[in-house]
Structure 1
């Protein structure tokens, strides 16, 4: 009897001493994922959510250092052939084993995804000449051109279970449907949970746009078990309500409290916070292609944005230091190139992008626009930190040099599809380097699009420079690091000189949380339940 009582006491004590294992985690997001589908849109909130449910062959830690994921090792033959050895003993959340067939199916799906925004992830797999499976635990990828960063890029491609579609023998042959005999999955199939089947540490319980996302722990996950039985993400676009919710105990973790409010958190022992510099550059992309641009009006009826002197004037009109200080409350760094100085392929000593309104007016006069012109700045109001306020500030700076600027702010659900259709003249953008080097921005935005869309997938402004294209094409296929870095520096310098893309600043990301928790801030700006741990 005494032994049975002692067992009951010990068991009860264990349950009481480990409440975190039965606890729910509540996270307030400043920017809501637009889909559960891991291939729908290559967007930070979407990729962060997908990483809870799906996994890539590789993965990146909070400092973007590469680690094994669903592949335990990989090697390159010095040319175009990559061999990945897959992790054994992994199952999907529906109980199906993970094999090479799932990898082949996933890569095919990125190229057969009719609901993808701007060809997301096809820029990676579009360079694949072949994908073969010598056995169930080996995948051999041969690329059309050398791709030195392929393992880095594959960290963002979530692997799907081939069991979600009807198929015969799977082969990497998109022209012949890869062996798939049923319908290819579309975004709605994932949002309703039907096909949200992955190998990650969590499973989707529900996704209700505008209301919240609920996850539950995947009890069959191959890796260490997560401390949270359930996770709820709640979209709260405004910083004030997010902070109020944290202070009231409604949330355990919040994204991006206003920097001006950090003093309140710092002085309250119930909470903690972390500020992490990111690689995300905020910039404007200009329509430099069309003779008549939809949101530009000038006296001569032309598109002034095609003139490099006008674009230079617009850059000179912007006081980046003031934006960082007043709009970003110091939680950012002025950007003088497209990736923070010191990272791979950046200019070692970039010239500071000057604030010189007098010179800007002079350039406008030289370009034939002494009276300026009218332009609309298009922006999101729920994606980047203070995005619409930044656009308003830039509009005021442009107005001071004679460019009459208005702002059209909209939700990203409307903004991104319109931008991909080239409906804007001057569009705010943000880009974080997934590879940790300068090629990430340069190959995606300024490059002239190729037929396979492996480069230039987001070139909505029509920038095209044959010399730049020559440099970036050479850089992304050069395996020698020193040579690749030199090519990237040259390419980056040409884009900066063109002012077709006007960089503003690099975001820093802030997370605040209850004091009984810890959070590992991430340079990729992902908000991850896996980064939240009970404080010791």
Structure 2
């Protein structure tokens, strides 16, 4: 290594450290798309891959920990949330992820209310404000005004049905460096209007209409984006339209830092603050898509990234997190909590903060 990296062992659990067969995957920069390229030692083996349709897995009898209980797993790809739920209700699926809009009706349904399960994940949903494209968003006062005009509690309570935890900071619970109490940006519409006026846009006059990009076909994402836009209109007089994009097109533009305003998530690759504060928002971070740059912030993160003292790392990251929240290139909205429908006949599933562990002990009864 070129320098101390106290988070290095965590990185080894991430796909960037996975072993692959160079004879089968000639270009490791490209996606694996065929069974022949996917050489591994996991609990299941690929039986069939129909791209964007279905993946069929069969138990690996030679798995080092013993053959899994399940003989096979079928993973259909169904992009539409209502179709997924319908197939679950008719008995075609044993497990599906839910959109928040469906939870209340399912909780009221005696046949399915006990099937709902919740799982906290190390991920944060946020509004990204690109500091390098639109002139108003280059101004920290404008960004802070927009942050102060968002009522996160109302979004979590009313839009998301109270399932998720409001995010005051960047680092989610369960990640090294997380704090219950950060120097959070308060919901303060009056102060937000004052800041916006100081920036030259009294009551939103002269402020350009904003366009918020987001991934399509995900109702929760659209609902939160709509709620944020409505609050900006109500509290600041700023108009916002939504721009849903196909996921591939969205990522392509976001990777080029071409989206002025967007709503998305970041989930931990490994459970360390470096993977959030440095990776996402330091000028040297390879996932900094908002053109945020502050030398003091960079210095704090660089020191924390390499310190061998866990308490010093926490202190430095805390200072960095408070600083970046005050300049608002991100508006954290909520921490992710997945809601899933799982049939009572599914037994033996193992969990981690990252998600369901390999289904070595899972069984499905009649």
Same-fold status (TM-score > 0.5): yes
Q: Distance in 1 between matches of 2:264 and 2:322?
A: 19
Equivalent of residue 204 in structure 1, options 43, 46, 55: 46
- 1:145 aligned to 2:13? no
- CA RMSD after TM alignment: 2.4
User: Which residue in 1 is equivalent to 2:260?
Assistant: 425
The number of aligned residues is 357
**Residues 129-528 of structure 1 mapped to structure 2, 5 A cutoff:** 143-157=1-15, 158-164=18-24, 183-185=26-28, 187=30, 190-257=32-99, 258-264=102-108, 267-268=110-111, 272-289=115-132, 293=133, 296=134, 303-340=135-172, 343-370=175-202, 371=205, 372-382=207-217, 386-400=220-234, 401-449=236-284, 456-518=285-347, 519-525=349-355
CA-to-aligned-CA distance 1:209-258 (integer Å, 9 cap, x gap) = 33222222222221232122221112333433222211210101111253
> 1:520, CA displacement in angstroms?
4.0
Gaps of 5+ in 1: 1-142, 166-182, 297-302, 450-455
The answer to whether the 8 A contact 2:4-2:307 is kept is yes
The answer to whether the 8 A contact 1:193-1:207 is kept is yes
**Residues 47-126 of structure 1 mapped to structure 2, 5 A cutoff:** none
The answer to whether the 8 A contact 2:211-2:242 is kept is yes
> 1:341, CA displacement in angstroms?
5.4
- The 10-residue stretch of structure 1 (513-522 or 397-406) with the greater mean CA deviation from structure 2: 513-522
- The 10-residue stretch of structure 1 (156-165 or 331-340) with the greater mean CA deviation from structure 2: 156-165
> 1:407, CA displacement in angstroms?
0.8
Q: Distance in 1 between matches of 2:72 and 2:52?
A: 19
Q: Distance in 2 between matches of 1:515 and 1:347?
A: 36
The answer to whether the 8 A contact 1:448-1:463 is kept is yes
Q: Distance in 2 between matches of 1:420 and 1:496?
A: 22
CA-to-aligned-CA distance 1:349-373 (integer Å, 9 cap, x gap) = 2245422222222211110112132
The answer to whether the 8 A contact 2:122-2:173 is kept is no
Q: Distance in 2 between matches of 1:473 and 1:486?
A: 13
> 1:268, CA displacement in angstroms?
2.6
> 1:386, CA displacement in angstroms?
0.8
CA-to-aligned-CA distance 1:398-425 (integer Å, 9 cap, x gap) = 2221221111011212211111011210
Structure 1 pair 326–241 and aligned structure 2 pair: CA distance change class (3 A) = farther
> 1:508, CA displacement in angstroms?
0.6
Q: Distance in 2 between matches of 1:495 and 1:336?
A: 12
The answer to whether the 8 A contact 1:275-1:509 is kept is yes
Q: Distance in 1 between matches of 2:217 and 2:8?
A: 31
The answer to whether the 8 A contact 1:270-1:515 is kept is no
Structure 1 pair 219–420 and aligned structure 2 pair: CA distance change class (3 A) = same
> 1:379, CA displacement in angstroms?
0.7
Structure with the greater relative contact order (CA < 8 A, sep ≥ 6): 1 or 2?
2
The answer to whether the 8 A contact 2:67-2:360 is kept is no
> 1:530, CA displacement in angstroms?
4.7
Q: Distance in 2 between matches of 1:475 and 1:320?
A: 29
Q: Distance in 2 between matches of 1:329 and 1:239?
A: 17
Structure 1 pair 352–206 and aligned structure 2 pair: CA distance change class (3 A) = same
CA-to-aligned-CA distance 1:397-453 (integer Å, 9 cap, x gap) = 12221221111011212211111011210122211223323222112110112xxxx
The answer to whether the 8 A contact 2:46-2:56 is kept is yes
The TM-score with structure 2 as length reference comes to 0.89
Structure 1 pair 387–529 and aligned structure 2 pair: CA distance change class (3 A) = farther
The answer to whether the 8 A contact 1:287-1:462 is kept is yes
Structure 1 pair 516–270 and aligned structure 2 pair: CA distance change class (3 A) = farther
